[in-house]
Amino acid sequence: MMHPDTELRFVSPEIGFGVFATRFIPAGTITYAQDSLDIMISAGQYAALGPSQKRSVDHYSFIDPDGNRVLCWDHAKYVNHCCHANTISTGYGFEIAIRDIQAGEQVTDDYGLFNLPYEMDVICAKKDCRKKISGKDIARYYAEWDTRIIESLKVADKVPQALLPYMDQEIRESVFSYIAGKTEYKSVLQTQYQQEACL
């Protein structure tokens, strides 16, 4: 489920839709949490789909560490990629704002953490745009991403967390146990789906 202070807006014919903050969202805010309404498509179910359905699923889903495609039920599936995203997937099954997001600003994500089974061309207007992203990006950039996430988790218990009531209890306990210093940090590397055979 996407953070309630966001909405779907049309960006341009090239980009299509995007998700925008309707209010200020501070760094450390959980901006998306996987919940039971999200549609899980197993590798077997995906294989049985027709080409058009596969294209739609490819366009709107991400792949979890077990190889399931997760199709978000709300506007979370319209969040666009940026190589300098303001939110990022964590090893805990939610996404977090890694810097302050102003009202009216587009909420962006790094698709490098989506376990894409193919190389995807991206345009994000940043000077150091990676141009191509794939499931291999997790292994390349995890240390950099973990550093940003750890910084953001330091303030996660000091900002309002509107998505907490929707989060899986196990996920909530696991992240707050880390914040309290009781357990080790869970790296994004753990979200990697071992899909070398597909590449």
Choose between 15 and 103: whose C-beta lies nearer to Zn ion: 15
Place of tokens 């909405």: 7
Q: By C-alpha distance, which of 98, 86, 90, 99 is closest to 34? A: 90
Q: In whole angstroms, what is the distance from residue 32 CA to residue 133 CA?
A: 21
- List, as own/partner pairs, every contact residues 194-197 make where C-beta atoms lie below 8 angstroms and the sequence separation is at least 24, other chains included: 195/63, 195/67, 195/115, 195/117, 195/135
Instruction: Give the list of residues 6+ apart from residue 193 with CB closer than 8 angstroms, or none.
Output: 63, 64, 65, 66, 67, 115, 135
Range in contact with Zn ion (rule: CB under 5 A) among 11-19, 76-84, 143-151, 184-192 = 76-84
Q: Which is nearer to Zn ion, 41 or 133 (CB)?
A: 133
Per-residue string for binding with Zn ion, 9-48, x by CB under 5 A? ----------------------------------------
CB 131, min distance to Zn ion, A:
7
- 101 phi, psi to nearest 5 deg: -115, 125
Q: Which of the stretches 7-15, 72-80, 82-90, 189-197 binds Zn ion when contact is defined by CB under 5 A? A: 82-90
Closest approach, Cβ 192 to Zn ion, in A, equals 20
Q: How far apart are CA 72 and CA 121, in angstroms?
A: 22
- Binding of residue 88 to Zn ion (CB under 5 A): no
Closer residue to Zn ion (CB): 49 or 124:
124
Supply the minimum distance, in Å, between the C-beta of residue 97 and Zn ion: 19
Tell me the number of residues near Zn ion by CB under 5 A: 4
Considering the complex, what minimum distance in angstroms separates the CB of residue 111 from Zn ion?
9
Structure tokens at 193: 């789906």
Burial class (CB within 10 angstroms; exposed 0-12, middle 13-18, buried 19+) of 4? exposed
Nearer Cβ to Zn ion, position 55 or 132? 132
Site for Zn ion in 102-131 (CB under 5 A): 122, 124, 129
Q: Least separation, in Å, of the C-beta of 18 and Zn ion?
A: 14
Binding of residue 83 to Zn ion (CB under 5 A): yes
46 neighbors 69 (Cβ within 8 angstroms): yes
Give contact residues for Zn ion (rule: CB under 5 A). 83, 122, 124, 129
